[in-house]
Amino acid sequence: MTNRDRFLWGLLGGIAVICVKMIGPDIEVVKSLFLVSNGAEIAFYGLISAITIFLGGISGLFSKETEPIRMLAFAAAFPALVSTYTAPERTPLSTAAPASPAERSAPANAASLDLGFVSAARAQVGDAELVCDEGSFTQQFTKAARDYFSNQTRETTYSVVVGSEQDFERAKAKADAYARDAPDVEIYVGCRKPGNPYFPVFIEAGADVEKAALLMGEVIGEGWAPADTYISSYAYRTPIYTAKPE
């Protein structure tokens, strides 16, 4: 078996390790990549996968095996060992509830895939504060690496999105109208996701997706929230306006 064949079989072993990780330790991470990740998170996971595959190829070059199956097993052992040692437990970068049809299609009724919030909103904001600050690509990439190797579960906060508007003033008016119909419910307008023209109108739902689903059912059942209300979470969003019922 030539060195070229050994290297190719080693690469195949590395790919096998990636496949096992994607359906095993990294399954939550992979789910988040499809649901709510940004380009930096995808790039980071792609880099980690490429390194794992390359390590498999290097292992193949040092193998003395001549049978392909044994070669594959040998080549997969080293990248698998390195992956297990560097991060024995994987935690999702950002776990979210399944996206609604309005989220998956261009955001005709949704301001973004996901929502998250930090503090009380302000009535008056500058133009820069209307857009969610996701940081630079380098900052996102660094954060993705830190989250991936930290082995610490990050709490995800869910919200119930009851509407959206392209105009900030109209979004505030819609939030105020909902607040008059449901004065006991805190309703917010959130910053808009970069590249998305819609401002979401949402209700804080907490960290339990089941409670968020129950809240969504309640507000729809009360008649003031539209039927296409949905659950969402977005790590970079903050509220920029709190509705006034009067």
Residue 95 lies in a domain: no
Same structural domain, 230 and 162: yes
The answer on 224 and 118 residing in a single domain is: yes
The pLDDT value given to residue 17: 84
77 and 148 housed in the same domain:
no
What is the reported pLDDT for 151? 59
The predicted structure's pLDDT at residue 123: 39
**What number of residues does the chain have?**
246
Residues 6+ apart with CB under 8 A from 126: none
| CA pair distance 189, 215, nearest whole angstrom | 18
Q: What angle do CA 198, 206, 95 make, to 5 degrees?
A: 70
Mark which of 22, 55, 86 sits at the end of a domain.
86
Same domain, 111 and 232: yes
Please indicate, yes or no, if residue 96 is contained in any of the structural domains: no
Question: How many angstroms separate the Cα of 102 from the Cα of each of 98, 155, 200?
Answer: 11, 25, 12
User: Which pLDDT score is estimated for 135?
Assistant: 77
Q: What is the pLDDT of residue 220?
A: 93
Domain boundary, last residue among 35, 63, 86: 86
Please list, residue by residue across 180-196, b when 16 or more beta carbons sit within 10 angstroms of its beta carbon and e when fewer do.
eebeebebbbbbbbeeb
Residue 231 and residue 117 in one domain: yes
Joined tokens for residue 154: 């990050």
Residue at 94 is within a domain: no
**Which run of H or of E encompasses 30?**
helix 27-35
* CA pair distance 170, 187, nearest whole angstrom: 14
Report yes or no: 144 and 93 within 8 Å, Cβ to Cβ: yes
Residues 6 or more apart whose Cβ sits within 8 Å of residue 228: 100, 102, 109
User: How far apart, in whole angstroms, are the C-alpha atoms of residue 52 and residue 56?
Assistant: 6
pLDDT of residue 148: 74
Positive or negative, the CA dihedral 176, 182, 186, 191 is: negative
Based on the fold, state whether residues 7 and 71 are members of the same structural domain.
yes
What pLDDT, on a 0 to 100 scale, did the predictor assign at position 169? 93
The answer to pTM > 0.85 is no
Tokens of 126: 């500058």
Q: What pLDDT, on the 0 to 100 scale, is given for residue 35? A: 58
Single-letter code of the amino acid located at 49:
S
- Name beta bridge partners: 230: 161
Buried b (16+ CB within 10 A) or exposed e, 198-209: bbbbbbbbeeeb
Name the DSSP letter for residue 106.
S
Task: Answer yes or no: do 174 and 74 share one domain.
Answer: no
pLDDT score recorded for residue 127: 64
Whether 112 maps to a domain, the answer reads: yes
Which domain, by its residues, includes 69? 3-86
pLDDT at 199: 93
Residue ranges for the chain with pLDDT beneath 50: 88, 90-125, 153
Of 86, 114, 133, the last residue of a domain is 86
Other CB atoms within 10 A of residue 140 CB = 19
pLDDT for the residue numbered 113: 36
pLDDT at 34: 65
